[in-house]
Amino acid sequence: MPRAVPAVTDAEARLHPADRLRRSLVPAQRPALFLECSVPVVDWRDSRYWSPLAAPCGHCGRSTNLRDDSGRPTHKVCHEKTVAPDTV
């Protein structure tokens, strides 16, 4: 008895055969962003974290224009390592 072949959409038909196989093997899931995060998430793109005046970072001493929530100069990486050193 011949095997039933599932219908292929136009978008799938344009894919390389290896990509089609990969899509059929991997369940379609969207990554959960910031859902299971124990670290307070800071959106460093917000303008309140930027200062036009450079000042020494409170953690490493190098110059930075970024400020933390309380207005102290800090680098993004320095701040994240201080807030949650085990998870970052």
Asked if the model's pLDDT at residue 72 lies above 70, the reply is yes
Asked if the model's pLDDT at residue 79 lies above 50, the reply is yes
Two tokens at 77?
């990486």
For every residue of the chain, DSSP letters joined together read: -PPPPPP--HHHHTS-HHHHHHHHHS-------SSS--SPP--TTSGGGEEEEEEE-TTT--EEEEB-TTS-B--HHHHHHHH-TTT-
Count the neighbouring beta carbons within 10 Å of the beta carbon of residue 22. 11
pLDDT at 32: 55
Predicted TM-score (pTM) of this structure: 0.51
